Amino acid sequence: MTITVESAIAALPLPEDWQWHVSVRPRRRTLGIEVTEDGSVHFAVPADAEPSAVAEAVRSRLPRLAAEIRRRGPRPGSPVKELVDGASFAYLGRRYRLRVLPQGTEVRVRLHHGWLELPRLSTRQEGARLLADWYAEKGTRWLTARAAPLAARAGVTPLRVEARELGEHWGACDPAGCITLHWALLQLPPALIDLVLVHELTHLRTSGHGARFRHAMRAVLTDFDNLERRFTEAERELWRGEV
């Protein structure tokens, strides 16, 4: 039966680069679909599943699956910034121009009179690190306050919420209840940051990314589908420290 279901799914117009597999779960009553952290897809099917019905259910979910795979799969190179006067940087969806201060200025980054001020340092990498640290520090304070009402609506209590470097991942949560978001997300408008924050908060109660998970997210974010589309478009423009 598994081969038949696999053949039915393989006959769909799936992109050639998708990695997917099927497993039979005798205790399941409905189809389960999960996109794993590396962007591969796991289809969990009941023992008596009808192959054509499974294929049709998968077909109806292809747009959503494509968006989730893009979100979790390898990302293209992020934008490169020139750390020069007038360069544009975003914080919480608003644009600020960079002002590079003379050498000898106190070594800190700050928003001041509509400018994002950065001390002149000996290397571009040092400047990028200072900016990333600023996003992480300022973002952690903002996220901690932002998470409280969202966590209450999700019915969870995170141990801690912070922003820091996460490499290729936008968010993470651990069994202890600590939520971490990539500092680069703080460039987005608050509503799009909420999408990732609620995603990780929901994981405190619900594993996987199937129907139950998405239903829980929609219970907190009524415009979830619109936010997901906007995030897919916006994430490719996020600066992640390349100079």
| DSSP character string of 12-29 | S---TT--EEEEE-TT-S
Closest CA relative to residue 48, chosen from 65, 19, 25, 70: 25
E strand residue ranges, 123-239: 160-164, 171-173, 178-182
> In this structure, are residues 72 and 65 in contact, taking their beta carbons and an 8 Å threshold?
no
pLDDT of residue 76: 61
CATH of 88-237, picked from 3.40.50.920, 3.40.50.150, 3.30.450.20, 3.30.2010.10, is 3.30.2010.10
pLDDT tens for the chain, residues 1 to 243? 456 888 888 888 778 788 899 998 988 888 888 888 778 898 998 988 888 988 888 888 887 788 778 776 655 667 899 898 999 999 999 999 999 998 777 778 999 999 999 998 888 899 999 999 999 999 999 999 999 999 999 999 999 999 999 998 999 999 899 999 999 999 999 999 999 999 999 999 998 888 899 999 999 999 999 999 999 999 989 999 998
Q: So where are the chain's domains?
A: 2-72, 88-237
